[in-house]
Structure 1
Protein backbone atom coordinates (compact mmCIF):
# COMPACT_ATOMS: atom_id res chain seq x y z
CA UNK A 1 0.00 0.00 0.00
CA UNK A 2 1.25 3.47 -0.92
CA UNK A 3 0.26 6.57 1.04
CA UNK A 4 0.27 9.91 -0.73
CA UNK A 5 0.47 13.01 1.42
CA UNK A 6 -0.63 15.93 -0.74
CA UNK A 7 0.31 19.32 0.67
CA UNK A 8 -2.21 21.99 -0.36
CA UNK A 9 -1.96 25.76 -0.65
CA UNK A 10 -4.98 27.95 -1.25
CA UNK A 11 -5.38 30.41 -4.10
CA UNK A 12 -3.97 33.83 -3.20
CA UNK A 13 -7.40 35.47 -3.48
CA UNK A 14 -8.98 33.18 -0.85
CA UNK A 15 -8.74 33.30 2.93
CA UNK A 16 -7.86 30.11 4.76
CA UNK A 17 -11.49 29.89 5.94
CA UNK A 18 -12.79 30.21 2.34
CA UNK A 19 -10.33 27.50 1.26
CA UNK A 20 -11.48 25.11 4.02
CA UNK A 21 -15.15 25.81 3.28
CA UNK A 22 -14.75 25.07 -0.43
CA UNK A 23 -12.54 22.03 0.08
CA UNK A 24 -14.82 20.41 2.66
CA UNK A 25 -18.27 21.56 1.48
CA UNK A 26 -17.92 21.65 -2.33
CA UNK A 27 -14.91 19.62 -3.47
CA UNK A 28 -15.26 16.64 -1.12
CA UNK A 29 -18.91 15.94 -2.05
CA UNK A 30 -17.84 16.07 -5.71
CA UNK A 31 -15.45 13.16 -5.02
CA UNK A 32 -18.26 11.03 -3.61
CA UNK A 33 -20.31 11.55 -6.79
CA UNK A 34 -17.65 10.11 -9.12
CA UNK A 35 -18.46 6.87 -10.97
CA UNK A 36 -18.16 3.80 -8.72
CA UNK A 37 -15.06 1.72 -9.28
CA UNK A 38 -13.23 4.43 -11.19
CA UNK A 39 -11.34 5.81 -8.20
CA UNK A 40 -8.65 3.35 -7.00
CA UNK A 41 -8.41 5.07 -3.62
CA UNK A 42 -8.62 2.87 -0.50
CA UNK A 43 -8.72 5.70 2.03
CA UNK A 44 -8.92 9.49 1.92
CA UNK A 45 -8.31 11.75 4.93
CA UNK A 46 -8.24 15.53 5.16
CA UNK A 47 -5.88 17.22 7.62
CA UNK A 48 -6.79 20.77 8.58
CA UNK A 49 -4.20 22.80 10.48
CA UNK A 50 -4.93 24.25 13.88
CA UNK A 51 -3.71 27.61 15.17
CA UNK A 52 -1.51 25.85 17.72
CA UNK A 53 2.17 26.66 17.94
CA UNK A 54 5.11 25.30 19.87
CA UNK A 55 7.82 27.89 20.60
CA UNK A 56 10.99 27.19 18.62
CA UNK A 57 9.29 24.78 16.20
CA UNK A 58 8.65 25.96 12.63
CA UNK A 59 5.13 25.33 11.37
CA UNK A 60 4.57 24.14 7.78
CA UNK A 61 2.98 26.77 5.58
CA UNK A 62 0.15 24.70 4.04
CA UNK A 63 -3.60 25.18 4.20
CA UNK A 64 -4.26 21.46 4.43
CA UNK A 65 -3.04 17.99 3.62
CA UNK A 66 -4.94 15.29 1.76
CA UNK A 67 -3.86 11.76 2.62
CA UNK A 68 -4.67 9.17 -0.02
CA UNK A 69 -4.00 5.42 0.19
CA UNK A 70 -3.72 3.33 -2.98
CA UNK A 71 -2.60 -0.23 -3.63
CA UNK A 72 0.29 0.81 -5.86
CA UNK A 73 1.98 3.78 -7.45
CA UNK A 74 0.57 2.49 -10.75
CA UNK A 75 -2.97 2.95 -9.35
CA UNK A 76 -2.06 6.48 -8.26
CA UNK A 77 -0.63 7.28 -11.70
CA UNK A 78 -3.69 5.80 -13.41
CA UNK A 79 -5.99 7.93 -11.23
CA UNK A 80 -4.10 11.23 -11.49
CA UNK A 81 -3.81 10.94 -15.28
CA UNK A 82 -7.38 9.71 -15.90
CA UNK A 83 -9.91 11.73 -17.88
CA UNK A 84 -12.18 11.86 -14.81
CA UNK A 85 -9.43 13.31 -12.65
CA UNK A 86 -8.22 15.86 -15.17
CA UNK A 87 -11.64 17.02 -16.41
CA UNK A 88 -13.59 16.89 -13.13
CA UNK A 89 -11.38 16.79 -10.02
CA UNK A 90 -8.42 18.87 -11.20
CA UNK A 91 -10.75 21.32 -12.91
CA UNK A 92 -12.58 21.86 -9.61
CA UNK A 93 -9.29 22.20 -7.72
CA UNK A 94 -8.71 25.39 -9.72
CA UNK A 95 -11.56 26.91 -7.66
CA UNK A 96 -9.64 26.78 -4.38
CA UNK A 97 -6.04 25.58 -4.85
CA UNK A 98 -2.85 27.14 -6.10
CA UNK A 99 -1.99 23.90 -7.90
CA UNK A 100 1.50 25.19 -8.77
CA UNK A 101 2.33 24.96 -5.05
CA UNK A 102 0.81 21.50 -4.45
CA UNK A 103 3.44 18.97 -3.35
CA UNK A 104 3.19 15.17 -3.21
CA UNK A 105 4.99 12.79 -0.87
CA UNK A 106 4.80 9.10 -1.82
CA UNK A 107 5.44 6.85 1.15
CA UNK A 108 4.95 3.53 2.86
CA UNK A 109 3.99 3.40 6.52
CA UNK A 110 6.15 1.75 9.16
CA UNK A 111 4.15 1.85 12.41
CA UNK A 112 6.42 2.15 15.45
CA UNK A 113 3.88 2.32 18.27
CA UNK A 114 0.18 3.03 18.76
Structure 2
Protein backbone atom coordinates (compact mmCIF):
# COMPACT_ATOMS: atom_id res chain seq x y z
CA UNK A 1 0.00 0.00 0.00
CA UNK A 2 1.23 3.50 -0.90
CA UNK A 3 0.03 6.70 0.74
CA UNK A 4 0.12 10.03 -1.06
CA UNK A 5 -0.04 13.05 1.23
CA UNK A 6 -0.57 16.47 -0.31
CA UNK A 7 -0.15 19.78 1.54
CA UNK A 8 -2.42 21.99 -0.54
CA UNK A 9 -2.10 25.65 -1.41
CA UNK A 10 -5.05 27.38 -3.03
CA UNK A 11 -5.01 29.25 -6.28
CA UNK A 12 -4.34 32.84 -5.16
CA UNK A 13 -7.28 34.02 -7.31
CA UNK A 14 -9.79 32.45 -4.90
CA UNK A 15 -10.45 32.82 -1.18
CA UNK A 16 -9.73 30.11 1.37
CA UNK A 17 -13.48 29.62 1.83
CA UNK A 18 -13.98 29.18 -1.93
CA UNK A 19 -11.09 26.70 -1.96
CA UNK A 20 -12.58 24.57 0.83
CA UNK A 21 -16.06 24.58 -0.75
CA UNK A 22 -14.66 23.57 -4.14
CA UNK A 23 -12.38 20.90 -2.67
CA UNK A 24 -15.21 19.25 -0.74
CA UNK A 25 -18.19 19.75 -3.04
CA UNK A 26 -16.67 19.53 -6.52
CA UNK A 27 -13.18 18.04 -6.55
CA UNK A 28 -13.76 15.16 -4.14
CA UNK A 29 -16.86 13.89 -5.98
CA UNK A 30 -15.10 14.38 -9.33
CA UNK A 31 -12.11 12.31 -8.17
CA UNK A 32 -14.49 9.54 -7.05
CA UNK A 33 -15.74 9.27 -10.65
CA UNK A 34 -12.37 8.08 -11.95
CA UNK A 35 -13.13 4.49 -13.05
CA UNK A 36 -9.64 3.27 -12.08
CA UNK A 37 -10.00 4.78 -8.59
CA UNK A 38 -12.68 2.24 -7.77
CA UNK A 39 -10.08 -0.51 -8.19
CA UNK A 40 -6.92 1.14 -6.83
CA UNK A 41 -7.86 3.79 -4.23
CA UNK A 42 -8.34 2.36 -0.76
CA UNK A 43 -9.12 5.60 1.03
CA UNK A 44 -9.24 9.35 0.32
CA UNK A 45 -9.64 12.02 2.99
CA UNK A 46 -9.48 15.79 2.97
CA UNK A 47 -8.53 17.97 5.94
CA UNK A 48 -9.01 21.72 6.21
CA UNK A 49 -7.55 23.92 8.94
CA UNK A 50 -9.57 25.05 11.93
CA UNK A 51 -9.85 28.71 12.87
CA UNK A 52 -8.57 28.18 16.41
CA UNK A 53 -4.85 28.25 17.18
CA UNK A 54 -2.77 26.37 19.70
CA UNK A 55 0.04 27.73 21.82
CA UNK A 56 1.82 24.37 21.68
CA UNK A 57 1.74 23.69 17.94
CA UNK A 58 3.06 25.99 15.24
CA UNK A 59 1.26 25.41 11.94
CA UNK A 60 1.98 26.45 8.38
CA UNK A 61 -0.48 28.32 6.20
CA UNK A 62 -1.57 25.51 3.91
CA UNK A 63 -5.20 25.57 2.83
CA UNK A 64 -5.75 21.88 3.40
CA UNK A 65 -4.48 18.38 2.89
CA UNK A 66 -5.48 15.42 0.78
CA UNK A 67 -4.46 11.93 1.79
CA UNK A 68 -4.93 9.04 -0.61
CA UNK A 69 -4.11 5.41 -0.02
CA UNK A 70 -3.47 3.33 -3.15
CA UNK A 71 -3.16 -0.44 -3.41
CA UNK A 72 0.30 -0.04 -5.00
CA UNK A 73 2.57 2.42 -6.76
CA UNK A 74 1.34 0.96 -10.04
CA UNK A 75 -2.25 1.61 -8.93
CA UNK A 76 -1.40 5.25 -8.17
CA UNK A 77 0.16 5.62 -11.60
CA UNK A 78 -2.82 3.95 -13.27
CA UNK A 79 -5.25 6.38 -11.61
CA UNK A 80 -3.17 9.52 -12.22
CA UNK A 81 -2.50 8.67 -15.87
CA UNK A 82 -6.08 7.61 -16.65
CA UNK A 83 -7.92 9.51 -19.36
CA UNK A 84 -10.66 10.59 -16.91
CA UNK A 85 -8.06 12.06 -14.55
CA UNK A 86 -6.18 13.84 -17.34
CA UNK A 87 -9.34 15.16 -19.06
CA UNK A 88 -11.48 16.06 -16.02
CA UNK A 89 -9.76 15.94 -12.64
CA UNK A 90 -6.42 17.55 -13.48
CA UNK A 91 -8.05 20.52 -15.30
CA UNK A 92 -10.26 21.00 -12.23
CA UNK A 93 -7.16 21.07 -10.01
CA UNK A 94 -5.84 23.99 -12.04
CA UNK A 95 -8.91 26.05 -11.12
CA UNK A 96 -8.48 25.87 -7.33
CA UNK A 97 -4.94 24.63 -6.54
CA UNK A 98 -1.58 26.33 -6.71
CA UNK A 99 0.42 23.34 -7.99
CA UNK A 100 3.75 25.15 -7.74
CA UNK A 101 3.34 25.55 -3.97
CA UNK A 102 1.56 22.30 -3.16
CA UNK A 103 3.78 19.66 -1.55
CA UNK A 104 3.39 15.94 -2.24
CA UNK A 105 4.95 12.97 -0.50
CA UNK A 106 4.66 9.26 -1.25
CA UNK A 107 5.35 6.67 1.38
CA UNK A 108 4.37 3.71 3.46
CA UNK A 109 2.19 4.22 6.50
CA UNK A 110 3.31 2.81 9.84
CA UNK A 111 0.57 2.69 12.47
CA UNK A 112 1.87 3.73 15.87
CA UNK A 113 -1.50 4.25 17.54
CA UNK A 114 -4.42 3.04 15.46
CA UNK A 115 -7.22 3.26 18.01
CA UNK A 116 -7.90 5.39 21.06
CA UNK A 117 -9.07 2.19 22.78
CA UNK A 118 -5.76 0.41 22.22
CA UNK A 119 -3.77 -0.62 25.31
> TM-score under structure 1 normalisation?
0.87
Structure 2 segments unaligned to the other structure (5+ residues): none
> TM-score under structure 2 normalisation?
0.84
Deviation for aligned residue 1:73? 1.4
Deviation for aligned residue 1:33? 3.1
Question: Compared with structure 1, are the counterparts of its residues 34 and 71 closer, same or farther at alpha carbon in structure 2 (3 Å cutoff)?
Answer: closer
| Aligned CA-pair RMSD | 1.6
Deviation for aligned residue 1:56? 5.4
2:7–2:66 CA contact under 8 A, matched in 1: yes
Question: Compared with structure 1, are the counterparts of its residues 89 and 56 closer, same or farther at alpha carbon in structure 2 (3 Å cutoff)?
Answer: same
CA distance, structure 1, for counterparts of residue 34 and residue 84 of structure 2: 8
Structure 1 segments unaligned to the other structure (5+ residues): none
Q: Which has the higher helix share?
A: 2
CA deviation vs aligned residue, 1:49-103 (integer Å, no higher than 9, x gap): 1122222532122111111001111211222222221211111111111112221
